[in-house]
Every structure is written in structure tokens, then in C-alpha cells.
Structure 1
Amino acid sequence: MTIKYALASLLFAAAMATAQAQETIKIGGLLETSGPLASLGQPGLDGAMLAVEQINAKGGIAGRKLELVNLNTEGDNTKSVTAAKRLLEQSDVVGLVGPMNSGSSYAIIDTVQRASTAMISNGGSRGIVLPPQDKKWIFLSPLTDVLVQSVMMADMKQRGVKNVALLHADSPFGTSGRDQLEKNAASFGMTIVAQQAYGNDDKDMTPQLTKIRSANPDAVIVWATGPGQAIAVKNYRQLGLTAPLYLSHAANDFNFLRLAGGAADDILIPSSKIYVTDSLKDGDPQKAVLSSFVRDYQAKYGKPPATFAGNAYDAVNMIAEAIRKVGPDRTKIRDAIEGLKDYVGVTAVYSYGADDHFGAKADSVVLLTVKDGKFALAH
């Protein structure tokens, strides 16, 4: 009996060890794959799933497979909170890949903070992680509004722009961009001479742009996400405005090109480098990573990746990198993300810190234009 018992115990222990080795490490996703922001969330989910597939193809993390559990939030703030609670309380996730939109990211901050679980948000507003001492568990993967605006306004300064006008969406992303422009325009020698806003359901921005035209600005900025950007650009052309037109980094999207059509030609967009990989210098630290990502994404999905795919791809990979270093421990993962330095991603080269939960470095941004319906380097 003793020998049989010992043998049984050994077999049970071996079985348990095997089962434990086969258990997946779960990361939660809050990517909106339907609703008004599906054009952001679906590419995000595609990028995230590609990252998981690649990690698992290389043996996972310490012999364990990675699993992404995504709940579609539909871009709705209330549904985002419900989904976040469900993932954090019921799904045993060790980290979160946050929503693509700023509004939903703001909505779930308290839930994530209370759960003491790291989230890398894909929203573009700085306020999502500010102040970092009060939002210890929240990080960003996209380029931020201040980062891309610095590139945008540097280009304006080179062009001799003094007076600018702003049309923004009445959304957290739009108002955050407005606030940062108001704060920083003077440091580039510029004055905002007109400001107009539009609602997410507006189908015509002609009245706002007519008022902007009367201010006779040297350049115009449209700061928004979603289909409204394309409507604004079309209305801009219809009114015959000729001043340089700048859009936010949310416009570096194939869906925008499709909706705007020929009206998009010659606009200027601060962006990640994802659409101009072949134009990068060989010494660019992101070129190899970007080339591999674009190739693998195209092979898997049969189409080139949008910038949003790169955001979520980076978020998954950075959480996975933290797990490799410290194991699937929620607290240690947070600390490991904050400790990442010079991490070369698709969207940016990232270096986080206790006072910097943005991560992305300024030299990760390029200025794009549109030529014949395609993105190209502006300079």
C-alpha cells in the first residue's frame, strides 16, 4: 500500500505539474470591435492577437501559453466599466490592454486602480495617466497629443505660421488636444485666432469652418477621431480654404483615407512610422521591428496594418516582456512595465518611469502627408 500510495502521489504530482505548465497566462482586452470606433478597435484586436500568436509560437512565457481575453466594449463608457470589472474579478487576468478611445479609458481608471492591475491604454489623451502618482497602474502605448503636436507645430514654425485656427470634436480626445494646443501654442510663437467644436453625430462642419475662414488663419488644425475627420476635410475643400491643413494622429488610418477620398491629398499628419517603413533610414532603431510587423500582419490578415494595430501589438508585447522578467504577478508586472527602458516597439521606442507613464519618445514621430490616396513622408 505504501509503495502504491507513493507511486500514486508521484503520478498525481506529475499530472498537476503538467497541468500547471499548460495553464495559460491571461491578459484582458477592452478593444471595441463594433460600434462607432470599431475602425480603431478591430485593427487593435488584430494586432494584439498577432502578438499573442507570435509569443506562443516561440514557446510562450516560461513554457506557458499567453491568452488574450477580449471583451467588446462597443466604445461605450458604461459597457467599458462593466467589461473591466468582469475581466478583473472573474477572468484571472494579470494585465489589461485598454480601449482605443480616451473616453472609455478615463471611465475605467478607478476600476483598474482598485484592482491593482496594470493597464496599457490605447487612448491618446495625456490625462489618462496624469498625474502618474495618482494613476500608478495606468500606462499609454500610443503617441500622445503633446508629443505629436510638438512635431506639428515645429513644422508650422518652419513654414512661418503665426496664426492658427482649431476645429475639434467635442470628445475627451478632442478637448484634450484643444487644451494642450492652448497651453503650448505660444511657445512656438503662435496664436490661436479661432476655435470651433463639433458633435460626434454632426454630418456637416461647414458652419464652423466658415467662421474659421473669416479669421484668415495661416494654418488650420482638425483634432478628432472617427468619421468626423473626413467630413471636416471634405467641407474644408468645398469652402475653398487653402491654408495648410493639419490633422491629429488619429487620421493616420486607412478608413480615414477611404472616407475622405481625394480631399485628403496634401493634408499633414503627425504619425508613427508604420506607413513609411520602406522610407526609413537603415539606422532607424524601429525599421527592423516595423518591417517584420508589417510583413507578418499582411501575411495573417491579407491587408496592411493600421496604426491602431501597432498600438495594441506593442501593449501586449510590453506586458509579456514584464511577465518574462517577473512572472505572472500583478504588482510586479506593473513595476516591470514602469521600468522598461528603450523598448523598441512598432509605434515608438518606449522608456517609462515613475514620472513618465507615456513612454513614447519624440523621435518616434514623423510628419506624413497624403499623395494620390496614400501616406507619404512630408519631408
Structure 2
Amino acid sequence: MQSIRWMTAGLIAILATAGCAATETQSTGGDIKIGASLELSGPTASIGTAYRNALELKVKQLNDANVLNGRKIELIVRDNQTKPDEGIKNVNGFLNNDKVNALIEGGCSACAVAAAKTIEDHQVPAIALASASAVTNPVDQRQYTFKISPNPSEDAVVLLGSLKRQGITRIGLLNVNNVYGQDGRKSVTDEAAKQGIEIAQAEQFGETDKDMTVQLNNIKAKNPQALVVWAVSPAAGIIAQNAKNVGFTGGVYLDAGAGAELYIQGARDAAEGTHMVFPSTLAANDIPGDSPAVAVQKKWYQDYTAAYQNYSGFSSFAADALQMIVNAIQQTGGTDGKALRNALETMGIDGASGRIQNSAQNHSGLQPSALAVLEVRGGQWHLTN
């Protein structure tokens, strides 16, 4: 695509001095540069690739529509390899060399957390696609960082609420042992206590583990009615297969990080009948009504599917991040970092992921109403009956 410039990661100094935004960054003319640090290699490369596809499609749509009155959006993509050190290199390169106007960070929570101070020092707004609460909290130390994906605590409320309504009172918990997984573990534990649900057995696994049979046997031995899994793909799919192999017959419930279509591909026949909390756009054809907000979700689903012949659940997060940056530029009439930050902090949109509403107290504005519990039926995600 003509409007997109692909750049590979180079060796860039990690330490950078803070200073005022460059003149180019503050200007009201010229192209808009947006840097995207994504997971294009490493264990979550499939997710980063979906983000890149979504950003490329959204950039083309916005440029073709001339939404910035002659100014073009230039997307600069680098691979963070799912490594915080590489993520910091990328962010420094974007800020010091490319002089980008805004940043989009991928799904690597540890990468986003590690880059937070650098972003604060340079006063250039960033929207992360990662889910850990620490990406935007504490807000007073993350003034220039926002995120789109749901908070683990919100995922837990929706999941545990669904289990409670089904009369499930005893669950097992299996999470990856990293920032994202520990956040989920705490959120599920806290919400289970509120809902009166017992965690019969809680287990963890390493980021690079390829078999979780031991942990699942430990959970199965305690006879839980359901299993809650906090894992990204490919681990989420492996867990579903392992659970089937050990003879676990309870329901399997995943958080939004599981990978949507990537989870189904990895879990194969073991995916059937499993559940996940996710923005309802993933099952766009099941969403009732024809309101303008629903129309936005359905159109993005259709556009992405037409462009790439399948739909990625993660794509809506990337599309909304870019749309919010463009809305902030339109609102402020320029690209001054502080002005954009202020616009993003009070912004509300009906996005491809659902309703997003930021505030001074909450830089993670995807609303709980955007989330639903979905089920795999016939190899596809559908809203739970």
C-alpha cells in the first residue's frame, strides 16, 4: 500500500534525553507519522500480524477518505519480537529518529509497561493494545499512555458473572506466569470471592511451555465444574487440547487474550463448546439491532474479512487505536503532543470494538457493555445463547 512505509528494526540507542516535542511533531502541516511497535516474531507473532493487517487497512481507508484534508497518515512498523528491550528500542527510534506524532504499541504488556517512562518523558501520546492493568495504571505515571483492550478485572467480572448465572460454584484456574497472567489470576481470584465461587485448584505455566498436562491433571483431580484459562495463543489452544486429552469434562472459559480465531486454529476440534469473553464484534453477525454503533462494528467485520478472507478478533483494537488518534488530530487541529493527550483523555467513540470512553481517572476506556461471552459452535464464534 502506497501510504505505508515498512521499516525493520535497527540498532537504536536505548537511553534518550527528554525534551520538547520536535517542531515537525507540533506542526499543522505535512504527513502524520504514527509508529507501531508490534509482535511480528516471537511467541505471539500471529497476534502482531493481525494488528499490522488491521492498521494497514485502516490507514488506507482513512487516507482514501481524505479525513485529514490532504494530510496523509504514514505508518511506520517495527517488530518488538515480544521482548521489552526490543520494544524500548523501537519506541526510542520512533521518538528520536522518526519524530512520530503518536505511537501504537502491540499486545506485549511487559513491552508497554517498560516503555511508559520514555513516553512520559517525550510527551508523545501512545495507545497500547496490551491488556494488563499496569499498562495504564497508576494513571498519574501514565499520563501519555492509553489502551484499548479490556482490563483483566472487567474480563473477570463478565466471565465469573456468567458462571454464577449457570449455577457454577467451583472452578479451576490456569494462567501464564507473566505480568498479564498474574493480573488475570488476581482478577479472577478477587471476583470469584465476590461471586461466592470457590477456586478448587489454581495452577500456572511458563510463557514458553508447550504442554500443560501436569497442571490440568492437578486441576482435574479437584473436580471443578469449569476451568478458567488466562493465556494467549498458541498456549490457549494447547491447553484446550490438553484438557480434552486428560478427560476434563467441565466447561472451558478463556479471557480475551486467548486469540479468537487463532485460538480456534490452535485448539482445532478441542475448541468446540469452549467459551471466551471478548468484544461482541467477534460474532458480528449475531449482534442484534441496527443502531449506528452496531453498524460500525458490522462494517469493520465485513471490511476486514473482505480484505484478508477471515476475521481477526484482535483487529478491532488496532483499528480503534488509529481512529482515536485521528479523531484527536481533527479535534485539536494539529499534532502537539500535550494537546493530543488532552483530547484522548476525554474522548468517547463507538468503535469497532464497542463503546470506548476515556477519562482522567481511566485511560483504558473500553466499556464493559462492549464485552460478551462467546462460544465456539461449528468452528465459529457465536454469542452465547
Same fold by TM-score greater than 0.5: yes
Q: CA deviation at 1:226?
A: 2.0
The answer to whether residue 148 in structure 2 is matched with residue 141 in structure 1 is yes
Match of 1:368 among 365, 371, 374: 374
Q: Which residue of structure 2 aligns with residue 8 of structure 1?
A: none
CA–CA separation in structure 2 for the residues paired with 1:181 and 1:215: 18
**CA deviation digits over 1:309-329, x for unaligned, max 9?**
111111000011001011111
The answer to whether residue 253 in structure 2 is matched with residue 241 in structure 1 is no
**CA deviation digits over 1:230-270, x for unaligned, max 9?**
11111111111111111111224222111111101111101
1:34 match: secondary structure: coil
1:289 match: secondary structure: helix
Q: Which residue of structure 2 aligns with residue 307 of structure 1?
A: 313
CA–CA separation in structure 1 for the residues paired with 2:304 and 2:240: 29
CA–CA separation in structure 2 for the residues paired with 1:153 and 1:283: 29
Q: Which residue of structure 1 aligns with residue 3 of structure 2?
A: none
Q: Which residue of structure 2 aligns with residue 177 of structure 1?
A: 184
Q: CA deviation at 1:141?
A: 0.7
Q: Which residue of structure 1 aligns with residue 345 of structure 2?
A: 338
- Which letter does structure 2 place at the counterpart of 1:362? P
Match of 1:44 among 51, 63, 85: 51
CA–CA separation in structure 1 for the residues paired with 2:294 and 2:240: 31
Q: CA deviation at 1:91?
A: 0.9
Q: Which residue of structure 1 aligns with residue 327 of structure 2?
A: 321
CA–CA separation in structure 2 for the residues paired with 1:209 and 1:131: 35
- Which letter does structure 2 place at the counterpart of 1:319? I
Q: CA deviation at 1:165?
A: 1.3
CA–CA separation in structure 1 for the residues paired with 2:162 and 2:81: 36
CA–CA separation in structure 1 for the residues paired with 2:205 and 2:138: 28
- Which letter does structure 2 place at the counterpart of 1:147? E
* Cα distance, 1:285–1:159 mapped onto 2, change above 3 Å: farther
- Which letter does structure 1 place at the counterpart of 2:128? S
Q: Which residue of structure 2 aligns with residue 347 of structure 1?
A: 353
**Contact 1:262–1:372 under 8 Å retained in 2:** no
Match of 1:61 among 60, 68, 72: 68
How does 1:225-304 map onto structure 2 within 5 Å? 225-301=232-308, 303-304=309-310
Q: Which residue of structure 1 aligns with residue 114 of structure 2?
A: 107
**CA deviation digits over 1:291-348, x for unaligned, max 9?**
22122223333x223121111111000011001011111110000001112x011112
Give the share of equivalent positions with the same residue, in percent.
27
- Which letter does structure 1 place at the counterpart of 2:376? V
**Contact 1:173–1:225 under 8 Å retained in 2:** no
Q: Which residue of structure 1 aligns with residue 97 of structure 2?
A: 90
Q: CA deviation at 1:68?
A: 1.2
Q: Which residue of structure 2 aligns with residue 31 of structure 1?
A: 38
CA–CA separation in structure 2 for the residues paired with 1:285 and 1:60: 19
Q: Which residue of structure 2 aligns with residue 13 of structure 1?
A: none
* Cα distance, 1:21–1:173 mapped onto 2, change above 3 Å: closer
Match of 2:78 among 68, 71, 80: 71
**Contact 1:21–1:64 under 8 Å retained in 2:** no
Query: Which runs of 5 or more structure 2 residues have no equivalent in the other structure?
Result: 1-26
CA–CA separation in structure 2 for the residues paired with 1:317 and 1:243: 40
Q: CA deviation at 1:33?
A: 1.7
Query: How many residues are aligned here?
Result: 358
Q: RMSD of the alignment, in Å?
A: 1.5
**Contact 1:168–1:197 under 8 Å retained in 2:** yes
**Contact 1:94–1:330 under 8 Å retained in 2:** yes
TM-score, with structure 2 as normaliser: 0.90
Query: Which runs of 5 or more structure 1 residues have no equivalent in the other structure?
Result: 1-19
Q: CA deviation at 1:187?
A: 1.0
Whichever structure has more helix as a proportion of its residues is 1
CA–CA separation in structure 2 for the residues paired with 1:123 and 1:108: 12
2:134 match: secondary structure: helix
The answer to whether residue 199 in structure 2 is matched with residue 199 in structure 1 is no
Q: CA deviation at 1:375?
A: 0.9
The answer to whether residue 129 in structure 2 is matched with residue 122 in structure 1 is yes
- Which letter does structure 2 place at the counterpart of 1:322? A
Q: CA deviation at 1:136?
A: 0.8
CA–CA separation in structure 2 for the residues paired with 1:285 and 1:169: 38
1:193 match: secondary structure: strand
1:286 match: secondary structure: helix
**Contact 1:252–1:271 under 8 Å retained in 2:** no
Farther-moved stretch of structure 1 (99-108 vs 307-316): 99-108
2:146 match: secondary structure: strand
Q: CA deviation at 1:271?
A: 0.8
Match of 1:161 among 151, 165, 168: 168
**CA deviation digits over 1:80-127, x for unaligned, max 9?**
000000101111111111121212111211111111111110001112
